A and B are shown apart, each in its own frame.
Chain A
């Protein structure tokens, strides 16, 4: 500590300490811990808080599993269903994105000329500086009942009646795949770019097929990028709120929408917190899983 002050001088040291303590303690750690605590407390009006009723309880987590006391079902099928559906869809979106982006990333990193690769990168970035809501809105225009796709299909005579893409959740899944695709491309691109091109040529000279070259050389080399891309896409998809708000059908819920409902419409903050903790723990488990599967450190995932 002393050497820290000596190295930076008193003024700068104070600035460093204030900035870091403010960020790490007040913005990151305390809010999360307080939310964790709140999720174990009953939902009380402000006046009763801190009183004798304010005890730790598992009531919100019980509600998630068993449902409200008045319902007849043994388990809370609705909420659990939404939860599992969200996770399952997020995993599917991640896999689809990975398959989609791998050829593009490989092309940009190894096949294209540097100038055109850079142009492609700039071109790819542009759609992602546009608000997620507006991008979803663009898809909504395409998929709406009287939208562009339906009109084209009807005009060409492929279908007789309009398809309700939104009720079928096709719009939602397309939107989620669309939303975070860039976060898959860039880690992959960075990872593949660092591969020595000579290795690819050597493999080719030794008679390896294209598929085998990718499977044995490119993918093992790019595993940090794959882990990073998959983690980011999964996290953002599972925690997405904007895209489901715009594109989900009235009877499909995304887990974040459930949280939103408990929080803002039903004013049950502690239950909202409990559900948030569930989402957070899924995220943490997924990160740990990725670190274990691909044998990478957390620093390699976030860059």
Chain B
């Protein structure tokens, strides 16, 4: 018995390590979104700031780092991702549903073949689905000559919808198959006996029964499409979706703006998960109440009857929220007290870095007189659209006067 206890403790430690491994990196990434330094990090903590959610910054060496709200490429990609996600949902949910219903109607050998082909796309690497879609449609576009076929065959959004539908339909298919396994076919027969047409049976019985599956398939399809990269990067051609924009950003250099984006996505996911959990608990509670009610009605004997307590219980999670708010306010106050938040801190850090940079520059100039100061200054000479109208903001450039 003692060894069992020891084993359980070991298991507990193991699970703790595992969860740290899963959540640690995400947590650290989220924290780096608030550091004003241009490299996403925690340890040389500069200032607490929202700049990566807003306009970003221009680094002391003239590098442009756009924030979330000013990055037009990100916004563009987001819109295209949403369009593609919508298209994929509209195609893959009906396809998955049709395939799963037909699966219940075919038998023996044909069923095995049909099932195997249907689940194949999940076993293909994503890049291959992307490539095969592109090469096929390029060929179709070439043969089709000028006109409609050539237009859609070289349209990145259209190809991405097709490529993603190929394997996301399988996800939907599997969801529908699981739901249909519990379907009572006598319902259909009863409806037919009572004089309903097949079409009516489909719309009045099958569809309502499948509604929960349709909803979850749609959600899964949208999310899978939204976060897909492997297929999209090939099939999108010259367009950009959110994921390909992120990929190109990450490849060029890592900026805290990506941490900020990740934090937004994490927050949305968390919210969805909490809502899902609350809904599920409520449903469980309802079910339990119904059962209790049933027992209550069936037993004349008072042994199982329970007095209903009408007292109001405070949900536990409210304490958690209050605790979080208190901790948040306290931490924030500490930040302000220690001058780690606000414009003053940012400008102090900036000028410290600038003088550091200027010193290095001087050193360089001492070593070699050939260094061209103008080229190092760079800064606002090579402005690009990434930055929008940030140059209108005087505060940002107030103390950016060169290195005299």
Contacts and interface: CB of A to CB of B under 8 A. Distances in A.
A11 B199 contact: yes
B273 A126 contact: yes
B119 A19 contact: no
If over half of A's interface residues share one DSSP class (helix, strand or loop), that class is named, otherwise mixed; here it is: helix
A249 B360 CA distance: 29
B128 A141 contact: no
19 contacts: A16-B101, A19-B99, A20-B95, A20-B102, A27-B133, A28-B117, A31-B136, A32-B132, A103-B15, A125-B273, A127-B23, A137-B250, A138-B28, A141-B29, A141-B259, A239-B127, A276-B127, A280-B124, A298-B115
Contacts of A103: 11, 14-15
B44 to A, nearest CB: 8
Interface in A2-47: 4, 7-9, 11-12, 15-16, 19-20, 22-24, 27-32, 34-35, 38, 46
Contact of B199 (A12, A46, A138, A231): A12
Given A20-B99, A260-B127, A283-B124, A130 B262 contact: yes
B202 A302 contact: no
Nearest to A175: B25
Closest 4 CB pairs of A and B: A239-B125, A9-B198, A31-B132, A19-B98
Interface stretch (B209-217, B222-230, B292-300, B322-330): B222-230
B31 to A, nearest CB: 10
A235 interface: yes
Interface stretch (A142-150, A192-200, A218-226): A142-150
Interface string A96-135: 0000100110010001000000010011111101111111
Given A29-B117, A239-B230, A245-B251, A210 B7 contact: yes
A102 to B, nearest CB: 11
Contacts of B127: 239, 241, 256, 259-260, 276, 279
Q: Which of A240, A241, A303 has the most CB of B within 10 A?
A: A241
Given A49-B142, A302-B174, A7 B128 contact: no
B347 to A, nearest CB: 23
A265 interface: no
A34 B136 contact: yes
A60 interface: no
B139 interface: yes
Contacts of A137: 29, 246, 250, 254, 258-259, 262
B41 A8 contact: no
A124 B19 CA distance: 8
A231 B123 contact: yes
A191 interface: no
Given A8-B202, A283-B124, A141 B254 contact: yes
A130 B263 CA distance: 10
Interface stretch (B67-75, B162-170, B304-312, B372-380): B162-170
B359 interface: no
Interface residues of A, number: 89
A133 B199 CA distance: 45
Nearest to B28: A148
B125 A238 contact: yes
Contact of A16 (B102, B120, B227): B102
B313 to A, nearest CB: 17
Interface string B210-252: 0000000000000100010110011000000001001100110
Interface in A160-179: 178
Interface of A: 4, 7-9, 11-12, 15-16, 19-20, 22-24, 27-32, 34-35, 38, 46, 49, 100, 103-104, 107, 111, 119, 122-127, 129-142, 144, 146-148, 151-152, 155, 178, 181, 210, 231, 235-236, 238-242, 245-246, 256, 259-260, 263-264, 269, 272-273, 276, 279-280, 283-284, 287, 298-299, 301-303
B126 interface: yes
Contacts of B8: 111
Given A22-B95, A38-B135, A259-B131, 11 more contacts: A19-B98, A20-B95, A23-B166, A29-B117, A30-B136, A107-B15, A133-B243, A141-B41, A151-B42, A181-B22, A256-B127
B98 A133 contact: no
B43 interface: yes
Given A107-B11, A134-B265, A141 B25 contact: yes
B108 interface: no
B229 A138 contact: no
Contacts of A130: 26, 227, 262, 265-266, 269
A107 B166 CA distance: 36
A35 B135 contact: yes
B185 to A, nearest CB: 11
B105 interface: yes
B131 A276 contact: yes
B36 interface: no
Interface in B331-371: none
Contacts of A31: 129, 132-133, 135-136, 166
A135 B24 CA distance: 11
Contacts of A299: 115-116, 119
A127 B298 CA distance: 46
Contact of A131 (B105, B122, B243): B243
B319 to A, nearest CB: 17
A100 B139 CA distance: 46
A108 to B, nearest CB: 9
Contact of A35 (B99, B128, B223, B254): B128
Contacts of A35: 128, 131-132, 135-136
